[in-house]
Chain A
Amino acid sequence: MTGFDVQQFRQHFAFFQQQPDWVYLDNAATMHKPDAVIDAVSAFYQRHNSNVHRGAHRLSQQATAQFEQARATVAGYINARNNHEVIFTSGATAALNQIAFGLMHTVLQPGDRILLTQLEHHANIVPWQLHCQRYGIIIDVVPLTAEHQLDMVAYQQLLQLKPKVVSFSHISNVLGHIQPVAEMVRQAKAAGAITVIDGAQGIVYQPADMQQLDCDFYVFSGHKLYGPTGIGVLYGKSQWLETLTPIFAGGEMIDSVSFINTTFNKLPFRLEAGTPNIAGAIGLSAAIDWLQNYNIAQIIEHKLLLLKAFYSGLSAIKGIDILSLPVHNAGIVALNVDGQHPADVAELLNQQHIAVRAGQHCAMPLFSYLAQHNSAQHGAVRCSFAAYNTLDEVNRCLLALEQAVEILTA
Chain B
Amino acid sequence: MTLEQLLADTKPALLEIQQRDLTDIKQAKDWQSKYRVLMQLGKKLPAIPEKMKQPELLVKGCESRAWLLHYHDKTADRHYFVLDSEARIVKGLMAIMLCLVNGMTTAELCKFDLCHSFDQLNLKPYLSQSRGNGLTAMAERIKACCPAK
Nearest chain A residue, comparing its CB with the CB of B65: A378
Q: Does B36 contact A (CB under 8 A)?
A: yes
Q: Does B86 contact A (CB under 8 A)?
A: yes
Q: Does A36 contact B (CB under 8 A)?
A: no
Q: Within 8 Å CB of B32, what residues of A?
A: 403, 407
A351 touches B31 (CB 8 A): yes
Q: Does B100 contact A (CB under 8 A)?
A: no
Q: Does A72 contact B (CB under 8 A)?
A: no
**Min CB–CB distance A313 → chain B (angstroms):** 21
Q: Within 8 Å CB of A151, what residues of B?
A: none
Q: How many residues of A contact B (CB 8 A)?
A: 17
Q: Within 8 Å CB of A344, what residues of B?
A: 39, 87-90
A346 touches B63 (CB 8 A): yes
A403–B35 Cα distance when bound, in Å, is: 12
Q: Within 8 Å CB of A341, what residues of B?
A: 64, 86-88
Interface size class, chain B = 10 to 19
Contact with A along B124-144 (1 / 0, CB 8 A): 000000000100000000000
Known: A341-B86, A343-B90, A343-B133. A348 touches B35 (CB 8 A): yes
Q: Within 8 Å CB of A343, what residues of B?
A: 61, 63-64, 86-87, 89-90, 133
**Min CB–CB distance B30 → chain A (angstroms):** 10
Q: Does A126 contact B (CB under 8 A)?
A: no
Q: Does A379 contact B (CB under 8 A)?
A: yes
CB proximity to B under 8 Å, residues A386-410: 403, 407-408, 410
List the 8 closest pairs (A to B, CB-CB), nearest first: A343-B63, A343-B87, A341-B87, A359-B63, A343-B64, A358-B63, A347-B89, A344-B89
Using A344-B39, A344-B87 as known contacts, list a sample of 9 further A-B pairs with CB atoms less than 8 Å apart, ordered by residue number in A.
Answer: A343-B64, A343-B89, A347-B133, A348-B89, A359-B62, A359-B64, A379-B63, A403-B32, A408-B88
B-binding residues in A (CB < 8 A): 340-344, 346-348, 351, 358-359, 378-379, 403, 407-408, 410
